[in-house]
Amino acid sequence: MDRVNFRAKVLTGHLKNHENLAVDLLQTAQCVNYSPPELSEPLPDFNTKSLRKLLDGESMDEIDYIFNLMIKSHLFCPRERGGKVFISPDFNKSMEHQREMTMRRIDYLREQGAFDGWLTRKGPDAERSGFARGITFGVYDHSLGIKLGVHFYLWGGAIQFMGTKRHHDKWLKPTEAYEIIGCFAMTELGHGSNVRGIETITRYDASTQEFIITTPCESAQKYWIGGAANHATHAVVFSQLKINGVNQGVHAFIAQIRDANGNVCPNVRIADCGHKIGLNGVDNGRIWFDNLRIPRENLLNSVADVSPDGQYLSAIKDPDQRFAAFLAPLLSGRVTIAAGSMNITKIGLAIAIRYSLSRRAFSIHPNEPEVLLLDYPSHQRRLLPLVAKTYALSFATEYLKNIYVNRTRESIKTVHVVSSALKATATWHGMRTLQECREACGGQGLKTENHVGHLKSEFDVQLTFEGDNYVLMQQISKALLKEISAAKRRNKPVKGLGLEHLNKPAPIIPSRLTSSTLRTAQFQTDIFCLRERDLLHRFETEVSQREAQGENMEHIFTVTYQIAEDLGRAFSDRLVLQKFLDVEATVPAGSLKNVLGLLRSMYTTIVMEEDASFLRYGYLSTDNAAVVRKEVLKLCSELRPHALALVTSFGIPDALLGPIAFNWIDANAWSSVKDSDTVFPVFTNML
């Protein structure tokens, strides 16, 4: 009995203590409150508008105009969360609904004059304006950006640059007014990156002066054609042109695929590509041509033509040069993708950084407040290098836009190589950034309304369309090899593509690196140039040795892909650094220049830390690699006070960020649940 009494007393004591503890906790515990980071973060010691001007250049006002057009319309799905209004597509709706809403938004933007002059105005300023508009539409919804990009950049661009006056006079104004809707039928089921291998065939009938377009087999069906499934009335069709039994290579033709009432034309078959992991607001389709006849004048003839009696005419006799000239004007797609990728990284980072400046987790010491996520060195290491790289790549893509709109026949090679480099580098960076931001936001990163997670699936396609990134890296290496081989044949210095450093002695890297050395522009330039020149030499040597052994060039480039990819990345990184330094040189001494210096040093050190080639080929010793690794952490701590100002300078309006970027507690309060049924009054009579 004594034992029973003892156990009863012990249990009673436990229950009493637990009860008292629970009461004490309820009495003393404080609920988590949201505090805007603007109240606790230091005021920026540089002008955020000046920094944004470096990012957006002359297009800043036009970008803001497009943002405001979207924010003020109920067609862009305004939602109130946590006392702020956000706009974003309703991705919970069906694929059909998303496609319909994309077209409704296009109609609204057309009515507002957002497309005026897009194709009919001429000159660099007009083209720069087109880039600003197209890329900004994609900030709201990638489907909207892609749908407009296909119509204006691809269909419209093909008419502009591959056609001649007869095509301009007939097609550009109706395209700009959306009286016709164009698509771009290049990709086939059997051929994507290898455009020269497409299987669609076009023959000429001199008796009727018509071309006849044929899909000879299932692998020749046009595939992933944006706009084809529902809305496009016309297509630029890429096809092998056979004249008198001779294949003259790939050419482009204008073909009508639907009539004014939306009915598919005779001798054309169209099927839907179906639901995708993203971009369901774009109606991707498949097209078959059953001996479709089109007028002779529908050949886009800037490079080659066919006379009424069936004679093939071209001033460019070499088929390779003709093919290159034919496709050169289509580089605008890569320019748009590279620049657009920077916007998605800005959205992801602005959301993740703002959230980390108001979300707390764990206390370092008992009875102390929990720590802001961005005050943890590990969290800084995850996000701040990505901020620096986003700035670096943004400066580079602004340079790309400028050389594109000011291109000449002599500079088109540079545009091709630079656009290939930045398209690949920027899209890889974008997807990696979104993944890191998703994880950095924890469970909130999974919610579609918070954007970051869903953006991953929306933008994943950028890694492969307009050129597979790994293929682009190899193309860059081939272009660099041609440059130095041509210079050697001429016995002249290398000129162009930023390769002039090859004419100088190889830079010497200090055997022991210090923090101060790592931050100098001279060292950063030296080690990036050393890496590029050494990899180019290694690539040239291996190709030459294999060629001497009798291997054909196609096989050689296939088996040397590893060093070719390393070289492509080295070229891209050196280019980005070079453009960063060019921008930095325009800024007078002061706080903004100091912050740019920190960002540049962060960019270069993170590239050195993360790219294995610096260790693989011996540009860094293991001891120096350890110094680089420590320097990244130092730079993170120095950039930490500027984090809010840096993402504010991105210029993304609050309405286009996710609720967790602001008052995430009120955004998830019970009142938001009760109000959720009334956030879309514009849709109540639409479905």
Catalytic center residues: 466
**AA identity, residue 155:** W
Burial 582-609 (b: 16+ CB within 10 A, else e): ebbeebeeeebeebbebbbbbbbbbbbb
**AA identity, residue 526:** D
Dump the DSSP string for 403-464.
HHHT--TTTHHHHHHHHHHHHHHHHHHHHHHHHHHHHHTGGGGG-GGG-HHHHHHHHGGGGT
Tokens 């007869």, residue?
166
For residue 480, give every residue at least 6 positions away whose Cβ sits within 8 Å of its Cβ, in sequence order, or none.
417, 497, 499, 536, 539, 567, 571
Question: Does the annotation list 187 as a binding residue?
Answer: yes
**CA R_g for the chain:** 29
Cα 450 to chain centroid distance, Å, stands at 19
Q: How far apart are CA 602 and CA 388, in angstroms?
A: 6
Contact in structure between 518 and 628 (CB atoms under 8 Å): yes
For residue 171, give every residue at least 6 positions away whose Cβ sits within 8 Å of its Cβ, in sequence order, or none.
159, 163, 180, 254
Tokens 């004419």, residue?
503
* β-pair type (234-243, 201-205): parallel
Contact in structure between 292 and 286 (CB atoms under 8 Å): no
Distance between start and end Cα atoms, the chain: 75
DSSP state at residue 153: I
Dump the DSSP string for 356-377.
HTT-EE--SSTTSPPEEGGGSH
Q: How far apart are CA 199 and CA 190, in angstroms?
A: 8
Cα torsion 450, 456, 457, 460 to 10°: value is 160
Q: How far apart are CA 580 and CA 603, in angstroms?
A: 10
Residue 571 phi, psi dihedral angles, 5° rounding: -60, -45
By CB neighbour count within 10 A (0-12 exposed, 13-18 middle, 19+ buried), where does 16 fall? exposed
Contact in structure between 248 and 239 (CB atoms under 8 Å): no
Burial 287-321 (b: 16+ CB within 10 A, else e): bbbeebebebbbbbbbbbbbeeeeebebeeeeeee
Contact in structure between 648 and 42 (CB atoms under 8 Å): no
Q: How far apart are CA 460 and CA 426, in angstroms?
A: 12
Determine the 3-state secondary structure of 285 from DSSP. strand
**AA identity, residue 640:** R
Contact in structure between 450 and 441 (CB atoms under 8 Å): yes
Q: How far apart are CA 564 and CA 476, in angstroms?
A: 8
**CA 32 vs CA 189, 282, 506: distances in Å:** 54, 42, 58
**667 CB-side CA count, 13 A:** 20
* β-pair type (210-214, 292-295): antiparallel
Q: How far apart are CA 281 and CA 95, in angstroms?
A: 7
Of residues 62, 234, 218, the one with CA closest to residue 155: 234
Q: How far apart are CA 437 and CA 444, in angstroms?
A: 11
Question: How are the residues of the chain apportioned to helix, strand and coil, as percentages rounded to the nearest 5?
Answer: 60, 10, 30
Q: Which residues are annotated as a binding site for FAD?
A: 187, 226
